[in-house]
Structure 1
Amino acid sequence: MSYYDGSLNSLRVALVLLVSVFSGTLFAQSTLSVKESVQFAVKNSPILQKAKLETRKSLEQIREYKSTGLPQVNASLGFTYNAKLPTQLIPNFFQGKPDELVPVQFGTDLNTTAGAEVNQLLYSQQYWVGIKAIKAVGNFNSTVELKTEEDVAYNVVKLYYQVQTISKQKDLIEANLQQVGGLLKATDLQYKNGLAKKLDVDQLRVNQITLQTQLQNLELNYEQGLQALKFAMSMPQETQLVLSDTLSEIVMPNVDPTFLEAGYQNKLDLTLLDQQTTLQQLNADQLRATSWPTLRAFGNYNFQGQGNGFGELGKDQNWFSFSAIGLNVNIPIFDGFYRKSKVEQVKIDMLKIAEDRKQTMQSLQLQHSQAKQQVLSYWNTLNALRENRKVAEEVYNVTQKRYKEGVANVTEVLVAERTMREVQSNFLSNLLQYQLAKVDLDYANGKIPQLYK
């Protein structure tokens, strides 16, 4: 090797190391389990963050509503310059002529007032019902937040397992490709030595190209799956995501009966509808409460200064104080049946929610039943496919051995390889469907958030 070649190779190595270091700095790598992926999504999902903000907003709305029942204190300042005092006609008592009206002017050029007033709500049935209603709104928003978290977790889990299935399919194709490659190399050597046919080499090469194409397509599908998963997790697309969990091939000898039990009665969908019913009931109570009297207390204290110049306003004898305290009762008498109409509308909305709850219950029952049947169906299929896969792999290994011994031809090997690959693919596909059916069953029973926290 020349000095030039050695320097060039050193430069290439340095560039590779530099690019590797730069790439590692620029693009972060995350290795996550399915549980960690869900936790990442829950922490970063914009949809969930908006739901959390809505819950926080509810707390401020509660404080806002409560503030109307606390003392309301206001201060006021006023200054008036009377450019021309108003004139009034009064009886001429000054000259003893009451039947005669004379024009007079009252007041001063300058008038200043300052004071404070306090108002306090003493009793309002509508206020106390409103407190319950606004708290119920906060509870509803908290449940919406939990429901959003459940949906985010559900989508992430399903995408995670789908991507992992593609990864296992890639591993199988790579293993098959390696076997075919070794077989092709040996057959090509035999052909060169006159011990094999060119047709055998060509058939193996075609099979190798087919496997390479399938592998390339799976790699593209894997990248697309990762992109969809990162989007669902709200992870930057430039992050290098590595999935640590794999699909378990352990098939239970018997499905646990407790796993198949229905638990959709506690589903958040029903909780939300029940809370909507509560909100509507409180809305009706609040409307009825508007027919009750309200009682308020008030008090004020004021100062007033008068004079024809600013100098006179500075004199204590030109300032006077006055104050008042009292009660204010508001008694509704007749609203033209407005209240009655609004209450009837709320009752209709409650009946609609009741119908929605019936339909939701039926939907949850169907969702649970279908997921349960799918779990049992894919479980049965997996047990059969596991045996088929074992037999297909044994047949392929025996056929490959017989081919190397010269007993079997290459067509038999290719048929055995194709059969094995189909059985392996079917097994992985059903394994994915079995896992997704289990996830669907957990989702139908409302267990997703607890399982992945």
Structure 2
Amino acid sequence: MKRLLIIMLCAGASLKGFSQAQPANQTYSFTIQDAVNYAYEHRDSVVNAALDVKSADYRVKEIIGQGFPQIDGTASIQDYLKIPTTLLPGEVFGAPAGTFIPVKFGVKYSSNLGVNASQLLFDPSYIIGLQGRKTYKELYNRAYNRTKIDMNVAVTKAYYQLLVNLEQVKLLDANIAQLKQLQDQTVAQNKQGFVEKIDVDRIAVQYNNLVTTRENTLRLLALNYQVLKFQIGMPIEYNLTLQSVLADVKLDENVAEMSIDTAAYRNRAEYGLLETNLRLNRFDLRRVKAQFLPTLSANAAYTFSYQNNSFGDLYSTTFPSSYIGLTLKVPIFSGFQRTNRVKQSQITVLKAENSLAQAKNGLNLQAQSAKTMYFNGLQSLNNQKRSQELAREVLRVAKIKYQQGVGSSIEVTQAQTDLQNADNQYIQGLYDALVSKVDLDRAYGRIQ
């Protein structure tokens, strides 16, 4: 029992020390750009794309290394459990013709230590590979840039969603405070006998519904905070607050520039990626064609040979040998393999050219569509603002009429409902406009 108590105390002390060693939940306050920069450093897709760039660098170095001297060391040892037997003609030793005498040549133990070296002197495929190394690295750099753009878009939209949720909570708080005041006034008037109980109930129902909507919105707001933290690669237990506000977002900027139709596709990372891929495919076609040409390499070797019937004396005497030479390899016939590889590479180039042409049309269409959606979103948002102001004015007049006894509670509750609908439509229009702005900036290649 005493031993068990000691173990429990030690375990408790260890757990306490472990908990104290854990970092406390960190708190961050980010602007939109801060959130994007954090995602560049912590989101796995961006980090992996950056690692792909490093891997491409190593791949280029690997290709370059093929033109350096290739040196290998070799070592071998043999123990002939039975030395091979060779039959020699008997007449050599004075025996009758047609007879053979078995003779064993060699020793029981042998060993070889050597160094082999080769140097590529001429290989068209290697030369073309060196010419395409910059294009190969450019492909991965462009892919990394496209991943960053995708992340920028996703993070910005998630940030805007939070800003819209916060604006929605503000509107709900204002409506709840206004409705609470009206409810208190109606309850007081009911006690004095100026209004009926049903008027109190109507406003109470609307008030409760509005409070419930606010609670649901707050839960959704908390969830969207988690979504933003996930998008930027931040642990969800960290605390995050927003520095940017809706007033910082200029929805109507660059309107004159957007009205001018330009070749927006050239600014898109996707188009540049396809262009680079096409150039790389053309290099590959040249490399495959170069396989029809001869290759030349130099080679050399130096070997130490050891032989003895006694393992202990195996390395007492050495028999060195060495050579240098040239190897010329001339392709003659490979069963049409090289020809078929060329045709496959030609088809790959054609497909890349088709994809590039289609991408040009698709990206131009995307830019036109994004511009249309943006202008429609702005117009809808402006209309929703005006509707919201009108609904607020209608509610103000309905409340005055109701307080003066010339209006009904139904008019007030209906006006309150209309204001809530106008607020909801405004919130939706605001989010749509913000998202369409992000899509427009991406379509015109402004996000880099």
Structure 1 stretch displaced more, 215-224 or 369-378: 215-224
Residue 63 (structure 2) aligns with? 65
SS in 2 for 1:448: coil
Distance 1:201 1:63 in 2: 80
Q: Kindly tell me: are residues 391 and 52 of structure 1, through their superposed partners in 2, closer, same or farther at Cα, counting changes over 3 Å?
A: same
Residue 256 (structure 1) aligns with? 255
Residue 39 (structure 1) aligns with? 37
Distance 2:204 2:418 in 1: 18
**2:376 is the counterpart of 1:377:** yes
Question: What displacement does 1:240 show?
Answer: 3.1
Residue 72 (structure 2) aligns with? 74
Distance 2:249 2:120 in 1: 68
SS in 1 for 2:235: coil
Q: Kindly tell me: are residues 252 and 142 of structure 1, through their superposed partners in 2, closer, same or farther at Cα, counting changes over 3 Å?
A: closer
Question: What displacement does 1:70 show?
Answer: 1.1
- Look up the equivalent residue of 1:243 and give its one-letter code: L
Q: Kindly tell me: are residues 93 and 290 of structure 1, through their superposed partners in 2, closer, same or farther at Cα, counting changes over 3 Å?
A: same
Distance 2:171 2:425 in 1: 12
Q: Kindly tell me: are residues 410 and 26 of structure 1, through their superposed partners in 2, closer, same or farther at Cα, counting changes over 3 Å?
A: farther
Residue 9 (structure 1) aligns with? none
- The within-5 A match list for 1:325-364 is 325-364=324-363
Residue 4 (structure 1) aligns with? none
CA contact (8 A) 1:88 1:104 kept: yes
Q: Kindly tell me: are residues 98 and 114 of structure 1, through their superposed partners in 2, closer, same or farther at Cα, counting changes over 3 Å?
A: farther
Residue 281 (structure 1) aligns with? 282
**2:51 is the counterpart of 1:53:** yes
Structure 1 stretch displaced more, 140-149 or 260-269: 260-269
Question: What displacement does 1:281 show?
Answer: 1.0
Question: What displacement does 1:369 show?
Answer: 1.0
- Look up the equivalent residue of 1:268 and give its one-letter code: A
Q: Kindly tell me: are residues 98 and 122 of structure 1, through their superposed partners in 2, closer, same or farther at Cα, counting changes over 3 Å?
A: farther
Residue 6 (structure 1) aligns with? none
Question: What displacement does 1:128 show?
Answer: 1.4
Residue 236 (structure 2) aligns with? 237
Residue 306 (structure 1) aligns with? 307
Identity across matched positions, percent: 28
CA contact (8 A) 1:90 1:102 kept: yes
Question: What displacement does 1:30 show?
Answer: 2.8
Question: What displacement does 1:372 show?
Answer: 0.7
Q: Kindly tell me: are residues 112 and 428 of structure 1, through their superposed partners in 2, closer, same or farther at Cα, counting changes over 3 Å?
A: closer
**2:188 is the counterpart of 1:186:** no
Question: What displacement does 1:125 show?
Answer: 0.7
SS in 2 for 1:155: helix
Question: What displacement does 1:26 show?
Answer: 5.1
Question: What displacement does 1:99 show?
Answer: 9.4
User: What runs of 5+ residues in structure 1 fail to find an aligned partner?
Assistant: 1-21
Structure 1 stretch displaced more, 109-118 or 33-42: 109-118
- Look up the equivalent residue of 2:85 and give its one-letter code: P
Q: Kindly tell me: are residues 272 and 249 of structure 1, through their superposed partners in 2, closer, same or farther at Cα, counting changes over 3 Å?
A: closer
Show CA shifts across 1:41-87 (max 9, x none). 22221222222222222222222222222111122233334443533
Question: What displacement does 1:447 show?
Answer: 1.9
Question: What displacement does 1:96 show?
Answer: 11
What is the CA RMSD across the aligned residues, in angstroms?
A: 2.9
Q: Kindly tell me: are residues 342 and 108 of structure 1, through their superposed partners in 2, closer, same or farther at Cα, counting changes over 3 Å?
A: closer
Structure 1 stretch displaced more, 372-381 or 418-427: 418-427
Distance 2:338 2:443 in 1: 41
Structure 1 stretch displaced more, 385-394 or 142-151: 385-394
CA contact (8 A) 2:89 2:98 kept: no
Distance 2:373 2:315 in 1: 91
- Look up the equivalent residue of 1:242 and give its one-letter code: T
CA contact (8 A) 1:90 1:103 kept: no
Distance 1:296 1:287 in 2: 19
Equivalent pairs counted in the alignment come to: 425
- Look up the equivalent residue of 2:413 and give its one-letter code: L
Q: Kindly tell me: are residues 98 and 305 of structure 1, through their superposed partners in 2, closer, same or farther at Cα, counting changes over 3 Å?
A: farther
SS in 2 for 1:248: helix
Residue 29 (structure 1) aligns with? 27
Question: What displacement does 1:380 show?
Answer: 2.6
- Look up the equivalent residue of 1:52 and give its one-letter code: A
Q: Kindly tell me: are residues 199 and 111 of structure 1, through their superposed partners in 2, closer, same or farther at Cα, counting changes over 3 Å?
A: closer
SS in 1 for 2:292: coil
- Look up the equivalent residue of 1:270 and give its one-letter code: Y
- Look up the equivalent residue of 1:306 and give its one-letter code: Q
CA contact (8 A) 1:249 1:431 kept: no
- Look up the equivalent residue of 1:359 and give its one-letter code: Q
- Look up the equivalent residue of 2:310 and give its one-letter code: G
- Look up the equivalent residue of 1:435 and give its one-letter code: L
The alignment's TM-score, normalised by the length of structure 1, stands at 0.84
Distance 2:64 2:250 in 1: 57
CA contact (8 A) 2:83 2:107 kept: no
SS in 1 for 2:194: coil
Distance 1:92 1:389 in 2: 122
CA contact (8 A) 1:247 1:432 kept: no
SS in 1 for 2:116: strand
Q: Kindly tell me: are residues 322 and 216 of structure 1, through their superposed partners in 2, closer, same or farther at Cα, counting changes over 3 Å?
A: same
Distance 1:388 1:240 in 2: 37
Residue 445 (structure 1) aligns with? 444
Distance 1:170 1:337 in 2: 72
SS in 1 for 2:333: coil
User: What runs of 5+ residues in structure 2 fail to find an aligned partner?
Assistant: 1-19
- Look up the equivalent residue of 1:112 and give its one-letter code: S
Show CA shifts across 1:401-443 (max 9, x none). 4444444433333233233333233223222212211111111
Question: What displacement does 1:239 show?
Answer: 2.7
Residue 226 (structure 1) aligns with? 225
Question: What displacement does 1:162 show?
Answer: 1.9
Distance 1:25 1:415 in 2: 53
CA contact (8 A) 1:92 1:102 kept: no
Distance 1:37 1:97 in 2: 99
